[in-house]
Structure 1
């Protein structure tokens, strides 16, 4: 039996130490990675997780950084639009999907090797940190039903 609840806690307000730690984690998770690539990864994970707030936020941030909106429109079908994404971006998106959809099993050796060839060890570690962090943010956004449409890039 499914029950509906309009009551959603405000994580930022009720657990400020946790929320501030997430903000710090977010700030360091993408260190050394291209900002545009980081936003593509954040948008893709957020699409998979159904976090409309994060899709909105990171799409706006990407456009603010001069990302081509067409690439964002095609992000859910990036494999069919490979010509618009670099090899590094494709490797990052592949790893993002593998780490985000864990119900399919572990990150395969094949996916990991593609990412390892596209990124230096430090960058790959940062990419893994970034994917982990956006997935955590998505869980907060989805659980609290954060609504899109209120974010403005700074």
Structure 2
């Protein structure tokens, strides 16, 4: 017999606070974050950051970027479907190219960035936008690694 215990399990304790111990590094990361998204549609940037965070299992970043995406006008059903974006018709060809590139860069050890994935992204983004897209993907992956390693948790609701 199973019981339906709805008591939340506490989040793991944070291991380390990188911003407090290395404030210059944190400021530099924040500056990189700000400059990475210059010239890129903010809604697309949040989709990419949410998707990469889902792939990396960073609860803090998933919560933050999904929340920011919805505040920016994104539909919640699209956020929920990001792990299965190929199985829906809810994303444009441009978004699909960005999501595929996000997966390839995030999961780099699983085949690097195939030419076909890069070329599809290059078809949908002008060169400067593509550079920003790559910068956003690289930056969120760095943030995810900080969040996962230090065990950052989203605020309780």
**TM surpasses 0.5:** yes
* Structure 2 alignment gaps of length 5 or more: 1-11
| 2:76 is aligned with 1:63 | no
Distance 1:142 1:92 in 2: 23
Stretches of 4+ aligned residues off by more than 4 angstroms: none
Q: Deviations over 1:44-70 (max 9, x none)?
A: 000000000000000000010111000
Compute the displacement of 1:148 (Å).
1.2
**Residues 101 and 113 of structure 2 are in contact (CA less than 8 Å); yes or no, is this contact kept in structure 1?**
yes
TM-score (norm 2): 0.89
Q: Quote the residue 2:127 is aligned against.
A: 121
Aligned CA-pair RMSD: 1.5
Greater CA radius of gyration, 1 or 2? Answer: 2
Q: Quote the residue 2:39 is aligned against.
A: 32
Which of 81, 85, 108 is the aligned partner of 1:78?
85
**Residues 100 and 117 of structure 2 are in contact (CA less than 8 Å); yes or no, is this contact kept in structure 1?**
yes
Compute the displacement of 1:13 (Å).
0.1
Q: Quote the residue 2:101 is aligned against.
A: 95
Distance 1:136 1:9 in 2: 16
* Structure 1 alignment gaps of length 5 or more: none
